[in-house]
Amino acid sequence: MKSIASAPGKIILFGEHFVVYGIKAILCSIDKRITATSQFLDEKIIRVRSSLGDSVMDLNSLNNLENVPQKFMKPFFYIAQKAIEENSTKQGIEIVLESEIPTGVGLGSSSAACVAATASVNGLFVRLTKDEIVKKAIEAERTIFEQNSGADSSVSTFGGLMLYDLKNGFQNISSRNDLNFIIANSAQVHDTQDVVRQVRNFKEKNEDIFRKLCEQEVEIVNNATIALKKNDLNQLGSLMLKNYELLKQIGISTEKIDLLVREAKKTSYGAKITGAGGGGCIISLVDNSNMKNTLDSLRKLSDCFLAKIDYKGLLYS
């Protein structure tokens, strides 16, 4: 028996990094997915296979996850270990991950993988609710990224466009906007945890400045919520550019990112870093009137693709 589940990647429209300190963020899932396929094995092992490599652990050594051969694999062994423990089984499990989401560039591939793997592994025993899955997926991701706000896993599980903050969790945005983004990849791979740590250092050295930046972010998110209700693309684009300026001030932009935003700004409604930054991707808001021109100019500088909002979230197949 195979248990298959898929979960979408995400982009952050407003509020990355500030969300770690309690500010609301606006994010959406995108139409690019990771699929996890799990099955029982006769051997007493957990095997994880992905395009980034394969990894195997003995069932007996699962209680010491510090020994996981590749750090990024730790959440998947954790997910398997919990499911084995909770369902009192001694069977081995194989998890295969197949992804359409570029990794390490701010598009939520690691959270989507945790969500899909949680649903797929637990689905071998029982189908959990989305609330149960998101809780377990965040726990799993925190084994390698402790300060993770949970925003990425939440949007990947529930799908759509949402507001998220640490205290209240996620809140759906009911306008169900049909937005089009061009995602341009700087090809500068980052480690989200390192960039989050770098921002924490900035905050600790510049408490006053950081507080003012948080206030500006709150205003941007409030105005963006209103702009989404009116589907005002001009206003959304200009708020994205404002948000990008704040992200530059906390030190997470790069020359390549600045170049991509400058180029995108010429033809689109607006552009900004999405996700952790320190490289990664930019998003640029477009519609049919400026999509082609923006794509043509960004393609000269980077790998890019079109993305729409995914309103499905986690799916079983």
Chain residues binding ligand MEV by CB under 6 A are 12, 16-17, 19-20, 106, 148-149, 151-152, 192, 196, 275-276
Helix, strand, coil percent values for the chain (each to nearest 5)? 45, 25, 30
Cβ at position 159, least distance to ligand MEV in Å: 16
Residue number, nearest CB to ligand MEV: 149
Cβ at position 119, least distance to ligand MEV in Å: 20
Cβ at position 152, least distance to ligand MEV in Å: 5
Q: Which residues contact 179 (CB under 8 A, 6 or more apart)?
A: 28, 161, 233, 236, 285, 308, 309
Cβ at position 235, least distance to ligand MEV in Å: 23
Structure tokens at 113: 């993988």
Cβ at position 173, least distance to ligand MEV in Å: 18
How far apart are alpha carbons 60 and 221 in whole angstroms? 48
Our CB check for ligand MEV shows the closer of 20 and 62 to be 20
Our CB check for ligand MEV shows the closer of 151 and 184 to be 151
Our CB check for ligand MEV shows the closer of 91 and 143 to be 143
Our CB check for ligand MEV shows the closer of 47 and 190 to be 190
Helical segments of 46-191, H only? 74-86, 109-122, 130-141, 151-158
Our CB check for ligand MEV shows the closer of 83 and 134 to be 134
Task: Count Cβ atoms below 10 Å from residue 297 Cβ, excluding itself.
Answer: 18
Our CB check for ligand MEV shows the closer of 16 and 94 to be 16
Encode 207-237: b = buried (16+ Cβ within 10 Å), e = exposed.
Answer: eeebeebbeebeebbebbbebbeeebbebbb
How far apart are alpha carbons 39 and 109 in whole angstroms? 22
Cβ at position 106, least distance to ligand MEV in Å: 6
- Rg for the chain (alpha carbons), in Å? 20
